[in-house]
Structure 1
Amino acid sequence: MSELDLWLVPLLMSLLIGVLCPVTGTLLVTQRRVLQANLISHAVLPGVAIAVGFGVDPAIGGVISGLLGSLAAERMQRGQPAGQEAVINTVLAGFLGLGVLLIPVLNIRLDLEALLFGDLLIVDWSDFYKVLVAAAAMALLLLTRYRQLVFLGVDPEGAEASGLPVRSLQLVQALVTSMVIVSAMSAVGVILVIGLLCAPVLPGLCRVSSLRAAMLQSSLVGLALSGVGFLVAVVLNLPPGPLIGVVCMVLLCIPRLRFADAT
Structure 2
Amino acid sequence: MDWTTPFIFDFMQRAFVISVLIAVPMAMLSCFLVLRGWSLMGDAISHAVLPGIVLAYVAGIPLAVGAFFAGMFCAVSTGWLNLNSRIKEDTVMGVVFSGMFGLGIVLFAAVPSNLHLDHILFGDMLGIGWSDIGWTGLVAIVITLALLVLRADLMALIFDPAHAQAIGLPVRALHYGLLAMISLSVVSALTAIGIILAIGLLIAPGAIAFLWTRRFGPMLAVATGVSVVAAVSGVYLSFWLDSAPAPTIILLLTATFTVSFIITVRRDRRARQAA
How far is 1:137 from its partner? 2.2
How far is 1:242 from its partner? 1.3
Q: Verify: 1:180 aligned to 2:180, yes or no.
A: no
* Paired letter, 1:187: A
* Paired letter, 2:32: L
Q: Distance in 2 between matches of 1:166 and 1:94?
A: 28
Q: Deviation per CA, 1:114-150: give whole Å up to 9, x if none.
A: 1111121111112111211221221342244221111
Q: Distance in 2 between matches of 1:236 and 1:204?
A: 28
Q: Distance in 2 between matches of 1:180 and 1:96?
A: 18
* Paired letter, 2:227: G
> 241, 248, 256: which is aligned to 2:253?
248
* Paired letter, 2:157: L
CA contact (8 A) 2:52 2:63 kept: yes
* Paired letter, 1:256: I
- State the partner residue of 1:65: 70
- State the partner residue of 2:3: none
> 53, 58, 75: which is aligned to 1:53?
58
Q: Distance in 2 between matches of 1:33 and 1:259?
A: 27
* Alignment of structure 1 residues 183-222 onto 2, 5 Å: 183-205=188-210, 207-208=212-213, 210-222=215-227
> 12, 17, 25: which is aligned to 2:22?
17
* Paired letter, 2:263: R
| Partner SS for 2:169 | coil
Q: Deviation per CA, 1:147-177: give whole Å up to 9, x if none.
A: 1111122223432444432222111111111
The more displaced of 97-106 and 247-256 is 97-106
Q: Find the structure with the greater CA-based Rg.
A: 2
Q: In the superposition, relative to structure 1, how do residues 28 and 147 fare at CA in structure 2: closer, same or farther (>3 Å)? A: same
CA contact (8 A) 1:42 1:190 kept: yes
* Paired letter, 1:226: A
* Paired letter, 1:9: R
Q: Verify: 1:236 aligned to 2:241, yes or no.
A: yes
- Deviating above 4 A after TM superposition, structure 1's stretches of 4 or more consecutive aligned residues are 257-263
| Partner SS for 2:239 | helix
Please list every run of 5 or more consecutive structure 1 residues that lacks an aligned counterpart in the other structure: none
- State the partner residue of 2:5: none
Identity in percent:
29
Q: Which TM-score applies when normalising by structure 2?
A: 0.87
| Partner SS for 1:108 | coil
The more displaced of 161-170 and 178-187 is 161-170
How far is 1:4 from its partner? 4.4
- State the partner residue of 2:131: 126
CA contact (8 A) 1:21 1:197 kept: yes
Q: Deviation per CA, 1:27-74: give whole Å up to 9, x if none.
A: 111111111111110111111111112222111111111111111111
- State the partner residue of 2:161: 156
- State the partner residue of 1:99: 104
| Partner SS for 1:64 | helix
> 162, 171, 192: which is aligned to 1:166?
171
The more displaced of 188-197 and 149-158 is 149-158
Q: Distance in 1 between matches of 2:112 and 2:233?
A: 39
CA contact (8 A) 1:204 1:257 kept: no
Q: Which TM-score applies when normalising by structure 1?
A: 0.91
Q: Distance in 2 between matches of 1:95 and 1:126?
A: 29
Q: Distance in 2 between matches of 1:96 and 1:73?
A: 14
Q: Distance in 1 between matches of 2:265 and 2:244?
A: 26
Q: Verify: 1:77 aligned to 2:82, yes or no.
A: yes
Over aligned residues, Cα RMSD in angstroms? 2.1
